[in-house]
Amino acid sequence: MAVLWLDEISAGDLETVGGKGASLGELTGAGLPVPPGFVVTAGTYRSFIEEAEIDEELFAAVDVDVDDSAALADAADRAQELILETPFPDELQTEILESYHEVGNGEAFVAVRSSATAEDLPDASFAGQQETFLNVTEEALLDRVRECWASLFTQRAIYYRQEQGFDHSAVNIAVVVQQMVDAEKSGVMFTSHPSTGDATMIIEAAWGLGEAVVSGAVSPDNYVIDRDDRSMDVTIAEKKVMHEKDEATGQTIEREVPEDKRTQRVVSDNEIDALMDLGERVEDHYGEPQDVEWAIVDGDVYMLQSRPITTIDEDGSDVADPTGSVDAAKGLTDGSGSVQAAEGGSTDGTDSSGTGDVLVDGLGSSPGTVSGPARIVIKLDDLDKVSEGDIIVTEMTMPDMVPAMKRASGIITDEGGMTSHAAIVSRELGVPAIVGTTNATTTLEDGQVVTLDGDKGAVLEGSEVEPDEETEPVEEVRPQSPVKPMTATEVKVNVSIPEAAERAAATGADGVGLLRMEHMILSLNQTPAKFIAENGEDAYITELVEGIRGVADEFYPRPVRVRTLDAPTDEFRQLEGGEDEPDEHNPMLGYRGIRRSLDRPDVFAHELEAFRRLYELGYDNVEIMLPLVNDAEDIYQTKELMKEAGIDPQRRRWGAMIETPAAALSVEGMAEAGIDFASFGTNDLTQYTLAVDRNNEHVADRFDELHPAILRLISNVIETCREHDVDTSICGQAGSKPEMARFLVNEGISSISANIDAVRDVQHEVKRVEQKLLLDSVR
């Protein structure tokens, strides 16, 4: 038979109905509330490809080097084409449709879910790699079954199977056809802690269908419950969107959540108790912790899926805590930002209402709330008085302040905007910061105890935060959901200083889209010429190698894109040996970036030698990125210098920043010159296109990376690069903005590099946009 009903299936039927089908059959047999349905068996899929005689060509097509992205894409396209273009045999078509008619008297909307035989296994969960379709009717049912079969051969599925050692020809796929639950509320439940296995149950909930929660389209409410006494910690998210069935078309649509429900708690205490009872029953039934998808309609709870949790550390070692415990989980979310604590507190455990007077205010550039004594830093010698927990108050930070910034609990500056050194480095270190106050150094007194609110940009009088309420910077950015959103668009992370590498790597980013070499050089407190004169060329090169190596080690084998020196003359002038730097009226338009490097090839050669040594040491994940390039001539000159340094431009990945309108308009010539990638530096591209100094707080309100002119330049570059098989990326601050991420994914960018604290948000936003594009393409 091509079809088996759920009440005929048990866990022993894994090879016949796949992991999802076996789980649902087992749950049905255990008397748990599972919507009725049937499974188109894995053997049916196998018969389909064999009887159509496409099996040999199918498996030959996917026998490729999965690290070759072009070959992988071609393999996926061909394999799916073979399945989708093969017609259904009449007998099979009849059996599936007759079974459908028995579900809900033939008028039911059904969910059609893939169930691969290598899915949801105890030691390997590939859930989500194959297709799921909601609100399917008879007219579309057969096409959806075939699309589920074809989804066994997406790029992601082919890659993961090969990486996990699964033979493509040995993996079959079944399809679950199940009556839809028109959910009023839904979500996921971990029956035990997904990292440690402790008796802590975690429930995430949102309005409407569960697709919104699973896909990351919405930030759900979060409930962390101690299973022993059922004490609960609740975090209420702002739920902006929901998925539901369109009554007119039957299609699954996304719509805005009504204002009165956005911050309303989704599930009641009684519903939590019901979910916990079911969770404990399913864990007892399987004898191990489960990851459960659930839905509630008319007060009844339904179980839609259950799979084993594969992220628990069996050794009980000190592992990352992706979800938090009952004590640590205040404000727990999926990282999407707009969250409120359940009992009136803020998400970091502080009372942000505050009772102190506002002393100064500015731009909140790095989130968090801390209290401590203010330390006024006017000159570098003043840094010696900054102790652990102090708040640095200065006109503007510089790279040689980084050691003190790491000691400090907060940063306040008179000058600067959201892209200033203080803003960027503070975010990467996880230190709350406010920039552009204009008068903090003259208004605050040295030693005065203040509270810094990096979210609101306000400095309050007195202490409002207890020291033990403050959080660990690395753990703050570690993903709180144990499952990383899988996206075709890579999501990378920006790193300004090697000291931030551990925190950056903890985000789970796909690599580093920007590592700034200038911060390694400026932190020496000497110009390159001065440092070399006193310590020798080898010492200088070693400093660069070790700085880059520290980041490359944290991310290996994920790529680390290193930008060569790009420091304006005013920053160099403040270092020892800086007295010979040109005195420029506007350093941002002056002697910096690749123009300095090409003008001083003897100094640039040391940077290139550092790259050569890294390659010699085996760091093939290091990529070279050239700043402030204007045209192809800059590329050709640099390419020759790379060859002279012993770097083969054909073997190593290298590319150029797109930071000027000239570069954007000249990118075709650069592509022909041999670059592998073009990366948008939106901070400079915006200031040069709009004539707005990005470090000038007086015009900060006119600095707009989403200006139509900027977007048009970006769009043209992406289109040109795609025509020339050149990757595109963004490493400017704008990549962390949801609006920019949506625009870039729709335009077809290869990767987005975000600030450390925005990586998970961008991953979810990218996944949401990609899924919408896929849905639109099949509708």
Q: 681-701 pLDDT, tens per residue?
A: 998 999 999 998 876 767 777
The percent of residues in the chain predicted with pLDDT above 90, rounded, is 41
Name the pLDDT band for 466 (thresholds 50, 70, 90): low
Non-local (6+) Cβ contacts of 633 within 8 A are none
| Predicted local distance difference test score (pLDDT) of residue 97 | 93
Name the pLDDT band for 394 (thresholds 50, 70, 90): very high
| Predicted local distance difference test score (pLDDT) of residue 709 | 94
Active-site hit among 148, 243, 519, 731: 731
| Predicted local distance difference test score (pLDDT) of residue 104 | 67
Q: What's the whole-number average pLDDT of the chain?
A: 82
| Predicted local distance difference test score (pLDDT) of residue 126 | 46
- pLDDT higher at 640 or 619: 640
The values of phi and psi at residue 287, to 5°, are 75, 15
| Predicted local distance difference test score (pLDDT) of residue 340 | 29
Is the pLDDT at 323 greater than 50, yes or no?
no
Residue type (1 letter), 565: L
Strands 512-516 and 490-495: parallel
| Predicted local distance difference test score (pLDDT) of residue 105 | 67
Is 731 an annotated catalytic residue?
A: yes
**Highest-confidence segment of 59-68, 174-183, 258-267, 625-634:** 625-634
Q: Are 448 and 495 in contact (CB under 8 A)?
A: no
Strands 241-245 and 132-136: unpaired
| Predicted local distance difference test score (pLDDT) of residue 343 | 30
**Highest-confidence segment of 104-118, 159-173, 260-274:** 260-274
Strands 751-754 and 490-495: parallel
Rounded to 10°, the helix 69-84/138-150 angle is: 140
Q: Are 127 and 311 in contact (CB under 8 A)?
A: no
Which of 159-163, 225-229, 333-337, 448-452 shows the lowest mean pLDDT across its residues? 333-337
Q: Are 263 and 236 in contact (CB under 8 A)?
A: yes
Bridge-partner residues for 729, per DSSP? Answer: 679, 751
DSSP state of 697: G
Q: What's the average model confidence in pLDDT over 297-326? A: 59
Q: What's the average model confidence in pLDDT over 340-366? A: 55
Q: Are 560 and 511 in contact (CB under 8 A)?
A: yes
Q: Are 251 and 226 in contact (CB under 8 A)?
A: no
Non-local (6+) Cβ contacts of 89 within 8 A are 48, 51
Is the pLDDT at 740 greater than 70, yes or no?
yes
Name the pLDDT band for 330 (thresholds 50, 70, 90): very low
Active-site hit among 421, 519, 606, 764: 421
Peptide bond into 498 cis (omega under 30): no
pLDDT tens per residue, range 610-638: 999 999 888 889 999 999 999 999 999 99
From residue 437, how far is each of 366, 506, 697 by CA, in Å?
A: 14, 32, 9
| Predicted local distance difference test score (pLDDT) of residue 72 | 79
- pLDDT higher at 575 or 529: 529
| Predicted local distance difference test score (pLDDT) of residue 718 | 96
| Predicted local distance difference test score (pLDDT) of residue 317 | 37
Q: What's the average model confidence in pLDDT over 176-197? A: 83
| Predicted local distance difference test score (pLDDT) of residue 595 | 94
Which of 63-67, 100-104, 454-458 shows the lowest mean pLDDT across its residues? 63-67
- pLDDT higher at 749 or 590: 749
Q: How far apart are CA 641 and CA 612, in angstroms?
A: 12
pLDDT tens per residue, range 79-115: 999 999 999 999 999 999 999 999 866 667 898 988 8
- pLDDT higher at 82 or 476: 82
Name the pLDDT band for 212 (thresholds 50, 70, 90): low
The percent of residues in the chain predicted with pLDDT above 70, rounded, is 85
Q: How far apart are CA 510 and CA 484, in angstroms?
A: 11
DSSP H helices in 623-755: 632-644, 661-665, 667-673, 682-690, 708-723, 738-747
Q: What's the average model confidence in pLDDT over 21-26? A: 90
Name the pLDDT band for 145 (thresholds 50, 70, 90): very high
| Predicted local distance difference test score (pLDDT) of residue 764 | 85
How large is the C-alpha radius of gyration of the chain?
28
CB atoms closer than 10 angstroms to residue 379: 7
Best CA proximity match to 216, nearest among 478, 479, 428, 511: 479
| Predicted local distance difference test score (pLDDT) of residue 359 | 93
Is the pLDDT at 293 greater than 50, yes or no?
yes
Is the pLDDT at 282 greater than 60, yes or no?
yes
Q: Is 542 helix (H, G, I), strand (E, B) or coil?
A: helix
pLDDT tens per residue, range 496-525: 778 788 888 888 899 999 998 887 887 787
CB atoms closer than 10 angstroms to residue 156: 17
Is 148 an annotated catalytic residue?
A: no
Residue type (1 letter), 663: A
Is the pLDDT at 320 greater than 80, yes or no?
no
Which of 92-101, 351-360, 397-406, 520-529 shows the lowest mean pLDDT across its residues? 351-360
396: left (phi over 0), alpha (psi -120 to 50) or beta: beta
Q: What's the average model confidence in pLDDT over 68-75? A: 78
| Predicted local distance difference test score (pLDDT) of residue 751 | 95
Is the pLDDT at 310 greater than 80, yes or no?
no
Q: What's the average model confidence in pLDDT over 131-138? A: 85
- Residue 587 tokens, joined: 């350093």
Name the pLDDT band for 164 (thresholds 50, 70, 90): low
Non-local (6+) Cβ contacts of 81 within 8 A are none
pLDDT tens per residue, range 558-578: 899 999 999 888 878 878 888
- pLDDT higher at 143 or 420: 143
From residue 632, how far is each of 596, 652, 666, 679 by CA, in Å?
A: 16, 19, 7, 15
